[in-house]
Amino acid sequence: MPISLHAPLDMHLHLRDGDMLSRVAPLSAHTFSGALVMPNLVPPVESREDVLQYKSRILEAIGDARFTPYMTLFFKPTYSREFLESVHDDVTAIKLYPAGITTNSEGGVSGFDVEELRPALEAMSDLGIPLCIHGETGGFVMDREAEFVPIYEKLATHFPRLKIIMEHITTKESVEALDRFDNLYATITLHHLIITLDEVAGGMLQPHLFCKPIAKRPEDREALLRVALDAHPKVMFGSDSAPHPREAKECPGCAAGVFTAPIALQLLTELFETNGASLEKLQAFVSGNARQIYHLEPQPKEVVLAKEPFTVPENYDGVVPFYFGTTLDYTVHTVI
């Protein structure tokens, strides 16, 4: 029996720029109604002009596809209220990166002093602009996200009117924090619902599974699955699909990022079915919750998936996807 998903949304997507943008943007635009586009380019997206120019390049790359790029700014503590008012209608959220913690984040926040952050975050609270955060410290790699939870709690307490999205959470500690604060929300990726660190490095090293935050323990994956499969109203799908050319992944100093955009809906459908979750829960996880959290009205799009074998290509124009060479249970049959 075919499964229809209405206006699916990817609330954490890397489209890169230049040649890579032209390669990967059409793949997301084909099956998603819209996506929250991350701003950690080189140079980062830091001004209204940057936002508008990047959005224009995205729209050019996707051609006639029905797809809305929801734009973000790279957070700076120096943003003034006047500046934030000027970009209010052009951005959906602002993304905060701890300095140097992930790809192209060297210009991020190096400390989390509440008073230093207060002017910008109070203005965002007043204007209703959500704050998305890559929540990791510079500690031991397996502990970085759990160590960041007290920072989430501090920000949620000091700025109770600020909607804070914990991006691509990977730990049970982050899941537990969701229900302690009314203003904390989260995105969850496809790959963190499936893999643990064992799949990445338990045998031969798998560079195409290496990402930041790194996959964690089985108990962390189970916590993520529990809230995703139940479509907890404060979680939503964000792929964190992060394309790199094959030569940047299969090398010393392997780049961090898992490329899932072209197979996300097929594999999510299979995952929800295998675990006995309903189609209504899947619809909420890939669209409904994000629409409520961000107050979005995405462009109409219906993606019909058929239960027919689909073998994931070895690469998409030089970018190796998650589960490459594997045969999935579902294929995208039509997009209306």
SS3 169: coil
Q: Compute the distance between CA of residue 322 and CA of residue 211 in angstroms, rounded to an integer.
A: 12
Strand partners of residue 35? 10, 69
CB 291 within 8 A of CB 281: no
Q: Rounded to the nearest 5°, which phi and psi values hold at 252?
A: -60, 145
> Strands of 331-335's sheet, edge to edge?
3-6, 302-306, 331-335
Catalytic residue among 126, 240, 317, 329: 240
Alpha helices in 160-316 (DSSP H): 172-178, 197-201, 218-229, 246-249, 264-274, 279-283, 289-294
Going by C-beta distance under 8 Å and a sequence separation of 6 or more, which residues neighbour residue 292? 233
Q: Compute the distance between CA of residue 260 and CA of residue 74 in angstroms, rounded to an integer.
A: 23
Q: Is 220 a catalytic residue?
A: no
* C-alpha distances out from residue 163 to 93, 131, 134, 307, Å: 10, 6, 14, 38
Cα R_g (the chain), whole angstroms: 19
Please list, residue by residue across 151-169, b when 16 or more beta carbons sit within 10 angstroms of its beta carbon and e when fewer do: ebeebbeebeebbbbbbbb
Q: Which residues are catalytic?
A: 240
